[in-house]
Structure 1
Amino acid sequence: MSVASATYTVTVTGLGKRGMHHAEAFAGNPRFRVVGLCNRTPERLETARQKFPEARAGTDVARVLAETRPDVFAFCTPPQVRLPLIRAGVEAGVKLIAYEKPMAASTNEALEIDKLLREAGVKSVVSHQHRYGEHYRRVKEIIAGGAIGRIHTVYGHATGWMMHMMTHLIEYVRWYNGHAEAEWVMGQAAGREKFADVHASPDHIAALVHFDNGVRGVIECGDGAPDVPEVDYWWRKCRIGAQGTHGFAEVLTGGGWRAVTQDSHGVISGSGCMDYVHDMRPYVQDIAAWLDDPAKVHPCNGESALKGFEIMMAACRSAVRRGRVMLPLGPGEPELEALKNALPP
C-alpha cells in the first residue's frame, strides 16, 4: 500500500455539535477510520456510538486513546480544556492532533502546548476551517492577484465575542496579508459580562496590529464591534478583508464577497456562506495530505495558530498595560484573568 492510499485511524473526544462534525467528516473520507469515541456525558456518547458502532467508546480519554492507539486525535472541548488533552494525545503516540480554536486560554498554556508538540514531533491542526469557503478563497485570489493594488490595511470584525471569534478573524487577516509577521499590537477592551461565559472574554475588544511589511491590521470583536446588517445570524456576522491603493476586497462569513478593483468599474460580488459540511471536507483531506507528506503542511497548522493567538493575547496585555506590546510574546500573567481584574466592574 502506498503512503497516499494509507488509511489513518482517528479517535474523537468531545461529541457535541462540533465534535460530531469532526467525526462525520473523518468517517466520510476514505482515508480515515473512526476507531475511538470519548465524552464525559453518557447520553452524547451513546448517540455517537449509534452512528459509529465499530468504534470503541468510553468516558476516560486516556483509556480510550490507550485502547485505540490512533494516528489522529481530534478533540472539540471548551477552551479551558486544552493542555491535558494535548498531553494525553502525545503520550498515546499519535501522529497529529486536531482541535478547536482558540488553541489555549493563555500565552503560558499556548507556549507549553507548542513546546510539547515540537519535542514529541507531533503535528497539530487548529479549526480555522472557514478559509475553505469559496467566498473566502475568492477574496484571497483578488488580493493576491494585485487587483486592488498595494495592500495598506487588513481588517476583521465580528459581533461575536473574543474567545469565540477573534482568532478566526486574525487567521484570515494574516492569510490575506501573505502571512507577514506581526511586530506589535495595541489593544483596548471594555465590559466584564462575557467573562462569565464558557468562552470567557471582554464584552468588546479592539486591536491595532503592525505587520513587518508595513500593513496595518484592525481587528474588533464583541458587542461594540460594527454590525454586519447584510447577515442575519450573529455567528456569521463577520467581515474580513483588505484595502489597497486601487480598491478593496472583503468576505462576509454569512453573506458572500464583494470588491472594487482597478478594473471592475464599480462593485463586483458573489455568493457564499459558512458551511461546516463543505468546509470540513477539504480540512480533513489536507490532514491526510500532511500525514502522507511532511512538505504538504496543513493551512490550519498549529504554528500559524500560535502566531494568531499571540496577537489576540497581545491585545489583552496591551489593554492592561495601556501601551504597545511587542511580538513574539513570552510567558506572563494569564491574560484573561489580568484583563478581567483591570476592567472596571
Structure 2
Amino acid sequence: MNKRPTIRDVAAMAGVSVATVSRVLSGDYPVANATRTKVQRAVRELDYVVNAHARALSGSTSNVVALVMYDVVTPFFAFIASGVEYQATESDRLCLVCTTHGDPDRELEIVKLMREQHADAVILVGGVNMTDDYRERMYRYAKGLEDAGSRLVLCGRPSLGPDFPAITVEYDNAGGAYSATSHLLSSGHRRIAMLGGPIGNTTFDARLDGYRRALEAFRVAVDPALIVHGDMSQESGFRQVQRLLSSGVAFTAIFAANDFVAAGAMRALRAAGKSVPGDVSVIGYDDTPFAPELTPALTSVHVPHEQLGRTAVKLALQRGEGSARQHVMLGTHIAMRDSVRPLI
C-alpha cells in the first residue's frame, strides 16, 4: 500500500499504453481530449509524480533553473533570487533554490547534481574563494553542463576567463567601492576606515581594491591601520569599530563593505558617544531596504539585484553560437542620503 505509483500504474488505471501516458505528461504530442482526461484523472487519483531521473535519462530537460547561493535571508541574495524566480516563471521554468552557507564543496556537489538532473541552467550567486582546485573542478562541471545542453551562470561574481564555458552576469563591484570612497574623498575626508569582509572572497576583495584605487587616485596613502576585516554581520561591524576606537587610530569616515556592517558601525559609534555624520561619516554597500530606515538614513552603493537575477535567467535560456560564454557587466550608483558630512 506504501509503494510509490509508477507510470505503468497510471496507464493501467486509465486503460491506455505507457507511451500514451508519457505523451500526455510531456505535453509535446497531440492526444485526444478524452484520453488526456482519463490519464489526468488517473494521475490525480494515484498522486503520481513524474520521476525526474527517468525524464533526465530520456534526454529531455527538466525545465528547472537551479539557483545556488549562500542563504535565503541575506537581502543581497534574497533580492537576486527574486529576480531569478520572476524571470524563470515568465519563461515557464521552475526555480529550485539551493543554499551552501559558504561551503565550496557543497556548491560543486549541487552543480554536479543539477547536471545529472538536466537542469536548463545552474546560477551561482555571490562571491567565492577562488582556488586553483575550485577552478579546475568547476570547469569540468561547467563543460558537462554545456555538453548536456545546459548553462552555468556566474551571477554577482567575476568571470573565470573568456575560455571558461559559463555565462557571467556581474555588477561593477570594484567600481562601486571606488565611487563610494571617492565621494568621501571629494567631501574632504582623508582618514577613511575600511571595514572589509573575509579575506580571499571575490566580492570583498574587489571592494577593497576599489577603496585602495580611489585613495591612490586622490594621492592619499593607504594606511593598513585603517583596514579591518570581519564577517558581514552587524555584530562584526560593531566589533570592527570598537577595535579601531580602542587602537587610537584617527578617522573621520568609514566605508563599510555592506549595509549590515555599516549599521553595526553606526551603533558602535553611538555607544562611544560619537555622532553620524557629525563626528564620523559612514557609507555602506548593497543599498538594502533597511538603509533608508537607519538613523541617519544610510548613504550606500546601489546594486541592481533584481536585474542581475533576471539577466542571468534570460541569458541562460538563450541558445546559439557563443551564448554559453557571454559576459554582462551591470552598473552601480551611490544612493545619497544623510550619513555623510562634507569637511570642506
TM-score by length of 1: 0.37
Quick check: which one's strand share is greater?
1
TM-score by length of 2: 0.37
Larger radius of gyration between Structure 1 and Structure 2: 2
Quick check: which one's helix share is greater?
2
